[in-house]
Structure formats: structure tokens, C-alpha cells
Chains A and B, each alone.
Chain A
Amino acid sequence: NAGVMQNPRHLVRRRGQEARLRCSPMKGHSHVYWYRQLPEEGLKFMVYLQKENIIDESGMPKERFSAEFPKEGPSILRIQQVVRGDSAAYFCASSPPGGSALYEQYFGPGTRLTVT
């Protein structure tokens, strides 16, 4: 069973460009979470999605950031007009729809975004 897939693993963008980060959850998982890790810090929750729905976006910056999880295809985290402060590792996690593993999240390898 393949794990959570993220691509690209590394992404370099100039200030003002757009960054698109992709996440494919584990097979059978219908819940996706995005977290951001700044250098030498812990992970901070950004957004929680189910298929075609945003369930909780309380950690998402109000501007320039958006996320989607369409019926088909991966979840996308989009950052418009990137700034240097957006440089971080962005991790995606997925969890199954229910049962005893309801609150377990399985993480992908992350996308390391560098804004120059």
C-alpha cells in the first residue's frame, strides 16, 4: 500500500510567482490535512479537507493561500504571489474515514518551498 505522495519534493519560486503543491493520500483515505513547518519549528496546521469540501481552514492565511481536494485527482495547495516568508516545508497527511484509526494521520515526505 503506497504511502502519502507529495510532489514536487523541492520547489523554487521567485517572489511574486505561484506555487502549486500536490498531495495524493493513501489508498482508501478520504481526509487530507496540510501543515507548514518553518525552519527549526514544529508543524502548524493549515487546512483540513475531505473530497470536494473544506472542513477546517482555521490555520490558513487569509490571503494568497487556497486549497482544494477534487473528486478526482490529488489535493492541491496553492500559494499565489509568493514571498520569502512562505519558504518552508509543507507536509500533507491523510487519514481513513473512520474506525479505530480515525485520528491517526500519515504524513507524506513534504515539499520544500524556497522563495528567492
Chain B
Amino acid sequence: GNSVTQMEGPVTLSEEAFLTINCTYTATGYPSLFWYVQYPGEGLQLLLKATKADDKGSNKGFEATYRKETTSFHLEKGSVQVSDSAVYFCALTPRPGRRALTFGSGTRLQVQP
């Protein structure tokens, strides 16, 4: 079956530090990969996506590269801000087949001033 594994949190960083949140996946075929962000008390927002190997998704300073050889989609940001504090979810949807998203368990990021 499909599964997503994320590093456990919380991850606590100082402002302007470098961020990496690891994500690996198991899936048949060539899934599409996503990062979603959830701010306190809110729903999920799509942060970035990649649909094929070596694609790099980017948005708001965040980046992730679809690595088929290591089945990974690690999230990175060069300089985090306090406003980046949230829970980050890695997810996939298989292609073709079911369109349901399979989520990782989420990684809470806390950025301190």
C-alpha cells in the first residue's frame, strides 16, 4: 500500500535558521507528492507539489525535490521566520488510481524569535 513517513517533531529553531523536514514515501508507480501546512485552528493549505521525478516544487521560500531513487521529498527553507510556525504534512496521491491523499503524521515546527 501507500504510506508516508515524516520526521517526528516538534522541531524548534531560531529565526533565520535553516529548516529541513524529512519525508520518505512508499508507493506503487509514480505518485504525485505534496507538502501541506496547517496553522493553528485552521485547515490545510497546499504549500508546494511535484508530479514527477526530479521536479522541484517551491513556494514562499520553501522547496522540495522529488527524489525517486531515494523515495524522498524533503522540505527545506533557507531562513525560517516566526510566522512559519505551523504543522507541516507530507502527502502523496497515486497516479493513476485512487485520488485520495495519503498523509504523513505531520511535523510541528516552532520558530523562536
Please give the residue numbers on chain A whose beta carbons come within 8 Å of chain B beta carbons, in ascending order: 4, 6, 31, 33, 35, 41-45, 48, 56, 58-59, 91, 93, 95, 102-110
Contacts and interface: CB of A to CB of B under 8 A. Distances in A.
Contacts of B93: 103
Interface of B: 32, 34, 36, 42-46, 49, 51, 89, 93, 95, 98-106
A11 B21 CA distance: 34
Given A41-B105, A107-B45, A109-B42, A95 B89 contact: no
Given A42-B89, A42-B105, A91 B98 contact: no
Nearest to B94: A103
Contact of A48 (B36, B99, B104): B99
Nearest to A100: B51
B43 A107 contact: yes
Contact of A95 (B42, B49, B99): B99
Given A43-B89, A103-B93, A103-B95, A110 B100 contact: no
Given A103-B51, A103-B95, A45 B102 contact: yes
